[in-house]
A = this chain, B = another copy of it.
Amino acid sequence: MAALAAALRAAHLDGLLITSLPNIRYLTGFSGSSAMVVVSERDLLLVTDFRYATQVQEEVGDLARVAIEAQSLWTGVWRQMADMTGLDVVGFESAYLVHRDFERLLNAGARWQWRATTDLVETLREQKDAGEIESIASAARVAERALERTLAGVRAGQTELEIAGALELALRDAGSTGFPFETIVASGERSALPHARAGTRQVRAGDFLLIDFGAIVDGYCSDITRTVIVGRATPEQRDVHDIVRTANERASALVRAGMTGKDADALARRYIEERGWGEAFGHSLGHGIGIEVHEAPRLARTTEAVLPERAVVTIEPGVYRAGWGGVRVEDDVVLGRDSATILTTFSRELLEVG
């Protein structure tokens, strides 16, 4: 709260209307799907609806004042804001307020002066505290236990969906409260699709099997990818996997707070380019994880911003060859000034399963 109050002062704002649910969760602990927050230097107000009356008490405690609305959250926001003193110039989240609601600010909210803001809370979220890092580390351990159990059961003839089902059950059993994104299980030539979902394809001996998934623990996400072989790997499969694994290990070992996102991306990209596969690594190296599975900072060719200390980011180089297959190896890493701590410990060797 002190950091947010300082950010408001720096932006010459008396207050901020927060409509991003992950930002609301970060500031108040509330995890429901319907809420708005108004923050001023002295006050943190959360408006939600009656469905969450019990949950909000449990989750928020005395971190925020809570108002429960029977009908529209906006009605509650206007009423509560009218009672808050010293509120004149108020920011809103430009990336999390749709045009329809922006019009409400100009109409029902016309008595306040509105200023578009970006990333005020997101910037605070980049640097994790010890408790947040421990939650992400727990989510990584849960994901790895689930992966180990799942790979032990993989057999040729199973569909990608069956493998995804086994993985999700294992995640639940290991203690994940949900799935941060739709589990990717892509086999054979489908592993060349960087965003394939699990489908009805049956895995066959000789297939790459790419599994990209995560766990949620205490509201924080992990995000991990391993690519294995069903049966025995060919030398060509080993070569491509070795390039990606080496790119991953180099980047994880060398990435630091204080670098730009672009320089971090280059740690893996240069190596893949040197090995002749630069064109086949079409996405960026990684992204922050936390309450959201994609959050700031970014590790990408176009990112000039400097990576902050205690950000937790993914390191996920990949090589994709349409019609043949793809390999991605993804870990979660905490950035320090002089070192990086890898939270994911699952083997990066090319495993042969089934």
A183 nearest in chain B by CB position: B178
What B residues does A26 contact at CB under 8 A?
none
- Which are the 10 A-B pairs with shortest beta-carbon distances? A165-B172, A169-B169, A94-B100, A94-B99, A51-B194, A165-B169, A95-B100, A99-B102, A97-B99, A168-B168
A196 nearest in chain B by CB position: B55
Contact yes or no, A177 B194, CB < 8 A: no
- Report copies per complex: 2
Contact yes or no, B98 A103, CB < 8 A: no
Chain B CB within 10 Å, residue with most, of A98, A118, A177: A98
A97 nearest in chain B by CB position: B99
Residues of A whose CB lies within 8 Å of any CB of B are: 31-33, 50-52, 54-55, 71, 92, 94-100, 102-103, 116, 118, 161-162, 164-166, 168-169, 171-173, 175, 177-179, 182, 192-199, 282-283, 302, 322
Inter-chain CA distance A99–B99, complex, in Å, is 5
A55 nearest in chain B by CB position: B193
Contact yes or no, A98 B100, CB < 8 A: no
What B residues does A192 contact at CB under 8 A?
54
What B residues does A173 contact at CB under 8 A?
162, 165
Contact yes or no, A52 B195, CB < 8 A: yes
Instruction: Give min CB distance, A68 to chain B, whole Å.
Output: 11
Given contact pairs A162-B173, A179-B179, A282-B50, A71 touches B195 in the complex (Cβ within 8 A): no
